[in-house]
Amino acid sequence: MPILKVNGIKIACECAGDPKAIPLLLIMGLGMQLIAWPDDLVEGLVEQGFYVIRFDNRDSGLSEKFDHAGKPNLLLAFLKTKLRWPLKSAYTLDDMARDALGVLSALGVARAHVVGVSMGGMIAQQMAALYPDRVLSLTSIMSSTGRRGLPGPTPAARAALLRRPADPANLESVIDSAVLTFQAIGSPAYPTPEPQLRARVARALRRNVCPAGVARQMVAIAAAGDRSAQVRTIQAPTLVIHGAADPLIPAACGEDTARQIPGARLVCIEGMGHDLPGQLIERLLALIDAHAHGKMSPDSTVRLFEKQ
């Protein structure tokens, strides 16, 4: 796995497919690593003729950590956000967008289709807004513009996200806690079998663990605040995919994203939560493929729901 030097830091990257094929960049979400992209999705995109590029965001996976910045006080950050006080973060979503851009440049890719999930969708949005000449199309999945007034996580989802393992020093305890978190925010209509989920969590934890990095990423999201003004400048053809049953970033956030971006198309999938369940991979592949190849004409009016 190559380690690239981009934007002044080290970023771990992995590519699949023919380098001469159409480039497609995948950007993962909060605390997640490049291996969080389902293998079936990556392989499917390669079969569709894409050169698929994945990377670990800063402070996650095998990419550079910002431990020198310390672990932020999340409660204090939350209170500052509620009170609209200035919030200082170790880095910004714009910095992370420049990381993504740097990955493309390091690989000699001039322009790419960009797909981001959750925080990765926010990074992808910033990338499309700040560097329009580098983004062929944007697919924003289960993400948000951060606009004030949008609904936040359900109490259960918030509690799941902040859950701590009973014994942080015990791997099985950490796995148990993570599994409960993913089950709480996952797709109610498309649950991932627990053995499969446990195996996925264990693989990620053995590859890398950085709780302080997750906290710094959370503060970067909070510090970004309302990005509506930037999002409204996006010129790239945009597809917004969201789960109607998402408890972490409610469907209203996806609807808002599609409203803010001129010509964006929204597909809201019933029964889908805040994950990429195996049962929906074929659906997601079809949507991304059609969008990237221009087979989806932009809607003049946001389409609120398309049933699976």
User: What string of DSSP letters covers 101-152?
Assistant: HHHHHHTT-S-EEEEEETHHHHHHHHHHHH-GGGEEEEEEES-----TT---
For residues 3-30, give the mean pLDDT: 97
Q: Quote the tokens at residue 273.
A: 């939560």
Higher-pLDDT residue of 289 and 1 is 289
Q: What is the pLDDT of residues 210-235, one digit of tens each?
A: 999 999 999 999 999 999 999 999 99
Which tokens sit at 233? 């400048």
Measured CA to CA, the distance from residue 18 to residue 109 in angstroms comes to: 13
Token duo for residue 193: 């079998």
The pLDDT score that the predictor gives to residue 1 is 72
| Type of residue numbered 308 | Q
Q: Is the pLDDT of residue 300 over 50?
A: no
* DSSP letter, residue 13: E
Q: What is the dihedral of CA 4, 6, 8, 10, to 10 degrees?
A: -30
pLDDT at 13 over 90: yes
Contact at 8 Å (CB) between 90 and 66? Answer: yes
Residue (of 124, 168, 162, 160) closest to 143 by Cα position: 124
CB neighbours of 264 closer than 8 A, spacing ≥ 6?
238, 239, 240, 257, 258, 298, 299, 302
Taking each helix axis from N to C end, the angle separating 93-106 and 119-130, rounded to the nearest 10 degrees, works out to: 70
**Closest by CA position to 202, among listed 172, 227, 180:** 172
Say if CB 46 and CB 19 are below 8 A apart: no
- Evaluated on CA atoms 22, 41, 123, 121, the torsion sign reads positive
pLDDT tens for 54-112 read 999 999 999 999 999 999 988 888 888 877 788 899 999 999 999 999 999 999 999 99
What's the average model confidence in pLDDT over 188-206? 97
Distance, CA of 208 to CA of 204 (rounded, Å): 6
Give dist(CA 266, CA 259) in Å, integer.
Answer: 9
Q: Is the pLDDT of residue 306 over 50?
A: no
Domain 3-292: which CATH class? Answer: alpha beta
